[in-house]
């Protein structure tokens, strides 16, 4: 039975149970939660099944679709910032949203089809955003980024918007202000059209969730260009600014990319002291750079010197379970090459994994939307080795935090990629029935013990 039929089977069983008068036990966790219409149970929320007849699996799959749509919207928003749009994606978003409206669609299978379609639309959107980035800033090239302060006034920018960073760099040029990246803006350093600004001097801090410490530590102006921004501490909120879609209580919002208030604030705050740079991060591996290594990669794979490519990427999370990703990469044999993207990389991107005869063992492709570069590279490898995607010596170890990762997960499922590992926890929107079907059809595996998982992946 196929994936979609399996899901339809779950839906049917649930209907049969209700129609047959079986008592539905309320579990510790909610089966579902929906309060979108006036029929909602007790005026507060349908939590066991919908008054309208909506089943928990349908409700969860509707939520899943909305999460994937949120993810696509984020990438589409950043493409639109640079003037790139796509009518087919726009039409899909309208259809996807509409399908979750009350009394429109009760078919669980259809919501899986829509999730897979969302995966394909997300691929299209990531391609659009990659094109927008490359057309505007050139293709990234490997770039070393020092982590730490440079003497002088500064502005640190966090989030994902290269457009906002570009405007900030233009407006600060020649003003004696150093601009730093934080979190998911690290890959900006690799783009020729951004690295040309000499006052883009480095990086402060690491992943999104260190921002309260990082922004408290450095008395600079702060610009939040998208997620992940956190409710600011009082001690720095008067020197923080948001732009674009990001907004925070008590924080001034920048309109039309006019960064004058942040620039004035940076100058008023004065100089940072020079820090010793103990860490240098390398980012900016574009598809062209990686594929220029294709003949060497083929030779090394055939000689058994590269045994496995492992994409370890996605969102970082403050959960204790996310330590897995550090342990995982640290313990990989030196016959592996790690591709990475998004802020999950901060779990290991300061490690020196060395190289295999000139092929770096740690390749930072960029932001989460650069998952499309990983897909392009994987497709190129299938051609290089004359095998299908699932026959490649490639394993994907995903970390997820928010809904862009949900969109990327469905993109990878839409490509029919099997055997992915997922963590740091399993998605809360998926009930056991949905998870079982994902495991059965895609061999999706929750992360476990890092060393045991490595043994499994390497066939040891
Ligand atoms: S749409 Fe259905 S499940 Fe949602 S609140 Fe209304 S009756 Fe309940
Ligand atoms: S990769 Fe995910 S968790 Fe990390 S900053 Fe981007 S959206 Fe946030």
Any idea what DSSP says for residue 152? B
Ligand 2 binding pocket includes 62 (Cβ within 6 Å): no
Nearest ligand to the CA atom of 187: 2
Compute how many other C-beta atoms are within 10 angstroms of the C-beta atom of residue 312: 24
Report the range of poorest mean pLDDT among 2-16, 221-235, 316-330, 381-395: 2-16
How many angstroms separate the most distant Cα atoms in the chain?
75
* Mean pLDDT to the nearest integer, 234-242: 98
Distance in Å, CA 68 to ligand 1 centroid: 21
Ligand 1 neighbours, Cβ below 6 Å, are: 34-37, 39-40, 46, 50-52, 54, 102
Query: Is the sign of the CA dihedral 73, 74, 76, 80 positive or negative?
Result: positive
pLDDT at 383 over 60: yes
- Cα 437 → chain centroid: 24
State pLDDT tens for residues 196-221.
999 999 999 999 999 999 999 999 99
State pLDDT tens for residues 3-48.
667 666 665 554 444 333 333 333 457 899 999 999 999 999 999 9
CB 339 within 8 Å of CB 394: no
pLDDT at 97 over 90: yes
Ligand 2 binding pocket includes 376 (Cβ within 6 Å): no
Name the 3-class secondary structure at 104.
coil
Beta carbons within 8 Å of 401's beta carbon, 6+ residues apart = 228, 314, 315, 316, 317
Task: For residue 215, give the nearest of 184, 237, 199, 193 by alpha carbon.
Answer: 237
Q: What percent of the chain has pLDDT over 90?
A: 91
In whole numbers, what is the pLDDT of the chain averaged over residues?
Answer: 94
Task: Give residue 429's pLDDT band: very low, low, confident or very high (50, 70, 90).
Answer: confident
Ligand 2 binding pocket includes 403 (Cβ within 6 Å): no
Residues in the chain: 460
The per-residue DSSP string of 344-362 comes to GGGGTTTS---EETTEESE
State pLDDT tens for residues 332-365.
999 999 999 999 999 999 999 999 999 999 999 9
Task: Give residue 315's pLDDT band: very low, low, confident or very high (50, 70, 90).
Answer: very high
- How many angstroms separate the first and last alpha carbons of the chain? 32
Atom of ligand 2 nearest to the CA of 401: 3
Rounded distance between C-alpha atoms, residue 9 and residue 78, angstroms: 39
- Cα 172 → chain centroid: 29
Pocket test for ligand 1, best of 18, 30, 32, 35 (most atoms within 8 A of CB): 35
Phi first, then psi, for residue 335 (nearest 5°) are: -100, 15
């Amino acid at each position: 039975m196929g994936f979609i039929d399996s899901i339809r089977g779950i839906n049917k069983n649930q209907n049969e149970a209700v129609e047959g008068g079986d008592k539905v036990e309320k579990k510790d966790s909610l089966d579902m939660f929906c309060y979108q219409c006036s029929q909602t149970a007790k005026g507060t929320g349908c939590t066991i099944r919908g008054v309208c007849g909506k089943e928990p699996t349908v409700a969860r799959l509707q939520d899943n679709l909305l999460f994937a749509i949120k993810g696509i919207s984020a990438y589409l928003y950043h493409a639109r910032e640079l003037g790139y749009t796509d009518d087919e994606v726009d039409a899909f978003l309208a259809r996807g949203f509409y399908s979750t409206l009350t009394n429109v669609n009760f078919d669980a299978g259809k919501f899986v089809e829509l999730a897979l379609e969302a995966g394909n639309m997300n691929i299209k959107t990531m391609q659009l955003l990659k094109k927008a980035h490359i057309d505007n800033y050139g293709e990234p090239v490997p770039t070393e980024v020092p982590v730490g302060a440079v003497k002088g006034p500064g502005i640190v920018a966090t989030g994902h918007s290269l457009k906002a960073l570009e405007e900030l760099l233009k407006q600060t040029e020649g003003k004696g202000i150093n601009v730093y990246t934080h979190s998911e803006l690290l890959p900006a350093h690799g783009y020729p059209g951004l690295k040309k600004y000499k006052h883009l001097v480095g990086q402060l801090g690491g992943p999104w969730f260190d921002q309260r410490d990082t922004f408290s530590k450095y008395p600079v102006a702060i610009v939040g260009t998208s997620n992940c921004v956190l409710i600011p501490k009082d001690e720095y909120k008067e020197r923080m600014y948001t732009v674009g879609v990001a907004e925070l209580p008590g924080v001034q919002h920048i309109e039309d990319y006019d960064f004058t208030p942040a620039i004035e604030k940076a100058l008023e705050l004065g100089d940072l002291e020079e820090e010793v740079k103990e860490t240098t991060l390398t980012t900016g591996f574009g598809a062209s750079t990686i594929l220029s290594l294709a003949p060497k990669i083929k030779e090394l794979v055939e000689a058994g010197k590269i045994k496995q490519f492992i994409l370890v990427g996605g969102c970082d999370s403050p959960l204790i379970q996310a330590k897995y990703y550090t342990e995982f990469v640290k313990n990989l044999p030196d016959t592996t090459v790690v591709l990475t993207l998004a802020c999950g990389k901060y779990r290991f991107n300061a490690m020196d994994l060395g190289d295999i005869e000139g092929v770096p063992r740690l390749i930072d492709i960029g932001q989460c939307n650069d998952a499309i570069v990983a897909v392009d590279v994987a497709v190129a490898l299938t051609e290089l080795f004359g095998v299908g995607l699932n026959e490649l010596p490639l394993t994907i170890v995903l970390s997820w935090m928010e809904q862009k990762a949900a969109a990327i997960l469905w993109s990878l499922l839409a490509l029919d990629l099997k055997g992915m590992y997922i963590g740091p926890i399993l998605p809360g929107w998926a009930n056991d029935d949905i998870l079982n079907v994902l495991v059965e059809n895609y061999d999706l595996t929750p992360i476990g013990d890092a060393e045991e998982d490595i043994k499994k992946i390497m066939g040891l």
